Every structure is written in C-alpha cells, then in structure tokens.
Structure 1
C-alpha cells in the first residue's frame, strides 16, 4: 500500500501471487464488475495469458474510490504464450478489463473529471514506483464520450471499433417488429428450422453442466482464430481450458450450448451475467464443413433477446466485431476510442 496524497492510498496487487484483497467481492459488486473480475478467474486469465496484470485499488479515508487493471506488456513476449513470473522491467501498461474488450479496465466511484484525473495521476505514480522507469506510458482501451477529459497529457487518441449494445425491447415480438423485413423473415425461418431439427439439442446452464471447459475452450479458439487470422495466442485467456475451468459452476456465467443427437458440441456462447447489463463474452461454432449448422448464430441472438426480456435487464452488451450484422439485428453502436498517455 502506497500513500500518494493525504487521505488517498493506492494498493497494487498481482492476481497471481497476491491473496484476494479484503472485501474484494463487496467492492466488485459495488463497482458492477462481472465474473471476469472475480479473483480466481483473474488469476486463471493471467496464468494462461501473455502478460502479467497489475491491479490498483485506490482508496480514501472512507474506502475504495477507484480500480485500474493493467497488463504490463514487455516489448517481446514469451514464445510459450504464457506470462513469466513477475513484472517485466521494460514495457508499457495496457489498461483493459480482464479477458474482455467490451468493457473498460477501470472504475471510478465519482463522475467528477477532477477527481478522476487525480486518481489516474495517483495510479501512474504508484505504478512507476513499483515497476520502475523502464515501464513507460499507458494504453487506455474502451474509452467513451467524455473520458478524454480526465486522461493525463500528453496523449494521442484514435477511434477504435464500436461497441454493439442491445437495449431491452418490450418483448421478443417487439424486437422482431423493429428489424428489417428480410432480417425478420430470416430470424423466424431460423427459429422454425431449429425447432424442427430432431438432431439438434439446445441447453442453457453453467460450465461443467452443459459443456466441459475443454469443449468450450476448443470452440472459443475456433472463433478467435477465425476473426484474428491466427494473430492471437490461442491458449490465453478465455481461449484456455484453465480459464474455462475457473468459471465452472459459477452462477454468474451462463452457457448456451448446441449439440447434435450424438452429443457433439456444435456451438456455444458464454454470457457474463449481470442483473442490469449482462455481457455476451464469446461465441464459437463448428464450421459447416465439419458438421456445424449455418443458422445457429441467429438462433442464439434471438435467445439472447429473450433472456434480456425475461430477466428484466436494461439490455445486453454484445461486444465488438461483426458490427454491421449486430446492428442489422437491432443493436446500436457506441463509438469507442483508445488513447496513449505518458
């Protein structure tokens, strides 16, 4: 714990080597952070990821007022794809949420620009003291409107891929009515095809109940490899069996799984549950040429809408990627950008 100004302290933690901070679950609930921020889940993500993570808890005399999660990225990563023990002596900070590109890697209790700017300065000073002068600069991801106001100077910003967000409709029928005529007809046709397919089973439940960690990791790797063109380490984060095992049995992680009559997993989606804004974390499916189905993505989307309506959530965060298709299915796109700061 480092005191950086009167009444404000910054506690720096390594999720791999440090024990879970006191009252972490209460803080996670207060900040609205989902299962990917649970301490054992973060630890699994770091252990199977390419970079170590520095977690900062900023507190004043009344308690925690801010959180920042930052990967400490070395210029050259290990060929093995997993992070080495400890922090690199040379590199930069990559502020991002654990295993998710859909939500920020920071939380501040106050919306006030000056207070947030003060907390960011405190975080950077504490990180420099701990990591040394060789870790220079920070890359901030998932920044929205107004976030530039509290970032330190100098900074360089650029637009990044937008975030797809589905606002909860009044009903599934209301959602369908808002789609274009061709898309609405396509979704309804898909629903009939799934319902009439005797060789298709759909189950919703937890990891370890409706799908094994190994099965889920395999399909998630297929999806990442498809969209990353092989540029993403396939053993890291939610692509790893270690990470999937860390969320097994958790009530706040939901799986929608599609199987054929022989029990082969054809497709699976992972949802980080939240009563207000659940996050669609990942989707993976067997290619059609390997026995997969063409229409599962659209059936899943309808089920996501149904889930939001049934649970009374405000909507669902659908993540990045395939923006045009998600927009065509009723989502709106929220502009996002990233920034590099000193």
Structure 2
C-alpha cells in the first residue's frame, strides 16, 4: 500500500488539505470539524491527536485519539516535550460522541485495508506519543467492527450500550402509540403541562446567538458534578468557548428553558446529521432550585419530532440511564472496548 500517515495536533498543526471535502463525503458528524477539534482540545487535560491517512493527494482515513495520563490535574495536557517520557496512553474516542467510533474510512476501503490502516495508526500514534506510551484503548466500538481491532494480545470487553431509536413513524403520535400505556399517558400529560406553564419559556433553534456560553458551561459543569465522577473518564470539561462555537452552528439545535424572570433552568443541544442526529449535552438545575420536573422528557419528545419531521433514519441519546431510554422506545446498541498494550502494537 502507498498510504502516507501523518499524526497531527489540531491545536498547532494546520488543517490538512481536503479535510472538509473528506468529512462531507463520509457524512461525518459535525464534531469532526477541524476548528471544533482545535477548540475542544486546546484546554483539555487529554488533548486530541488526529491521524490522517492519504493515498496520493486524497484523504482515505482518519482516526481520533486522546492523549491520556495518570493525573488528576485539569491543566491542559502536553503532547510533545519531556512529557513523552512519562506514562500515558491513547484512547480512541470522540470525547462527547459515544454513538460513533472515532474513525472515518473512505467508501472504497475493504475490511483488510481498514484493519491494516488501524495497525499503522497504532504504531504511528504511539511513536508520536513517546517512549512512555503504554498502548491504545479503543472505546465505543460496534461489535460488527470488532474484527478491525481485535486479535492476539488484545483485550476485548463489552461496555455500556448506546441507545438508538429507529425512525419507523409517520408522526409523533405514532411514536407515542408504540410506547407502553403508562409511559404514553405520562408523556402526553407532561407535554400538556409544559405547554401550559406560564412561568416557563422554551426556545429552540439553530445558530443561537442569544445565549451566554459561560452560563451554559457553568450549568453543564455543575450538572455533571451532581452525578459524581465517571470511572476511568479522562475527558476534560466542556468549555464556554467550545459551547459558544457549537450552539452558533446552523446544524446544531439548541433548546433552552428559562423561567419568566430570565433565569436559565436547563438546556440541551442536538447535533443534526443526515442519518442519525445525536443529543450531545443536557444540563439542568436540580428540581429543588425551582425548575419544573420532567424537562428531560420534553427534550426527548423534541428530538423524536426532529427525527420524524426531517426524515432522519435514527436518533441517538448516547449512553447511560438505559432503563429510562428503553422505556421511551430506544434500543440498546452493544458497544465494545478494546485494550491494546504497547508491545502488541508492534506485532
């Protein structure tokens, strides 16, 4: 094969030629945008490395990995310099996009080519990460793709599934009719209650420029703190700068809930996609702080309506709270994690 492989730091390296066209051809989720990768990675304790594979002048594959290290520090993580000699590892994941594996392949690449590209990625990215690199961890791999990264010396384990709803509905009532009687009744009541609440102001739209990104980031941070730490989570916080760029995009639907005094009660963003939109962020004040209960269910209703009205094939709610999401008709899609120790990457 005549592939050329480059391992880029989006914070410092320029966008590779043809990147936008490659993303469009692959119908890549919007968070692969190079500017967003840079903004997300810049303050992160686990910054991204983007491995780009070209065949001549054409990009044919890309793999995104976080450079992780055993520290509790929230300071921006180094990629180069003396840190290359300390213990660290690569996590192949898109930090807040659990419904998709963190790689993209051109349509013409067969399974053997994709597997070989991932082996070459492992070797190149580990070299860039340094002598202290312990290996590679693949997160959120669909079982159908497990053969690309499994093999001798590679540890494969099932992880929490992602929750996906297939669009088989003519309208919102069709979806409601597919749910249990109790869930259907409670959702209809909540929809009526939210619509009739004079103290609740709901706004939804794309390219929002009426929001304070710092306020959104603070609410998201506080919301996550109430849930407690996530085991083995090396992701950094979502910053105001990143949220400001995200909610200002024309392909992101941001829904906000304020009281009649203008206080932000909750917000969510839906990343649109021609096949599977995904709810990325959700945050709210605790119910004891004066926000109405059940706003999350309104978020789901709005997402399902978006899927149906825009003729999308699926809707993803990401991972977590599986029982709740299955009661709303979402199906758990199994996901695997694969650990590849550094010596194995050389085989």
In structure 2, the partner of 1:140 is: 138
Partner of 2:302, secondary structure, is helix
TM-score, structure 1 normalization: 0.91
- In structure 2, relative to structure 1, the CA distance for the partners of 1:218 and 1:131 (3 Å cut) is closer
Partner of 1:306, secondary structure, is helix
- In structure 2, relative to structure 1, the CA distance for the partners of 1:74 and 1:268 (3 Å cut) is same
In structure 2, the partner of 1:217 is: 217
In structure 2, the partner of 1:263 is: 262
Structure 2 counterpart of 1:83, from 66, 77, 83? 77
Task: Tell me whether 1:29 sits opposite 2:24 in the alignment.
Answer: yes
Partner of 2:53, secondary structure, is strand
| Moved segments of 4+, more than 6 Å | 230-235
Count of residue pairs brought into register by the alignment:
335
- In structure 2, relative to structure 1, the CA distance for the partners of 1:282 and 1:319 (3 Å cut) is same
Mapping 1:288-307, distance limit 5 Å: 288-307=287-306
**C-alpha deviations, 1:79-112, integer Å up to 9, x for none?**
2343236373131111001432232111222563
Contact 2:178 2:329 in 1 (8 A): yes
In structure 2, the partner of 1:54 is: 49
Q: Identify the range of structure 1 (24-33 vs 324-333) with the bigger mean alpha-carbon deviation.
A: 24-33
**C-alpha deviations, 1:14-58, integer Å up to 9, x for none?**
010111111211112222222221112111111221112110111
Structure 2 counterpart of 1:12, from 7, 10, 18? 7
The unaligned stretches of length 5 or more in structure 1 are 1-5
2-structure distance, mates of 1:309, 1:164:
17
In structure 2, the partner of 1:3 is: none
Contact 1:281 1:319 in 2 (8 A): yes
2-structure distance, mates of 1:76, 1:70:
18
The unaligned stretches of length 5 or more in structure 2 are none
TM-score, structure 2 normalization: 0.90
- In structure 2, relative to structure 1, the CA distance for the partners of 1:150 and 1:20 (3 Å cut) is same
Mapping 1:1-342, distance limit 5 Å: 6-61=1-56, 63-77=58-72, 79-84=73-78, 86=80, 88-89=83-84, 90-109=87-106, 110=108, 112-151=110-149, 152-168=151-167, 169-206=169-206, 208-229=208-229, 236-237=236-237, 239-341=238-340, 342=344
Contact 1:46 1:53 in 2 (8 A): yes
RMSD between aligned residues:
2.2
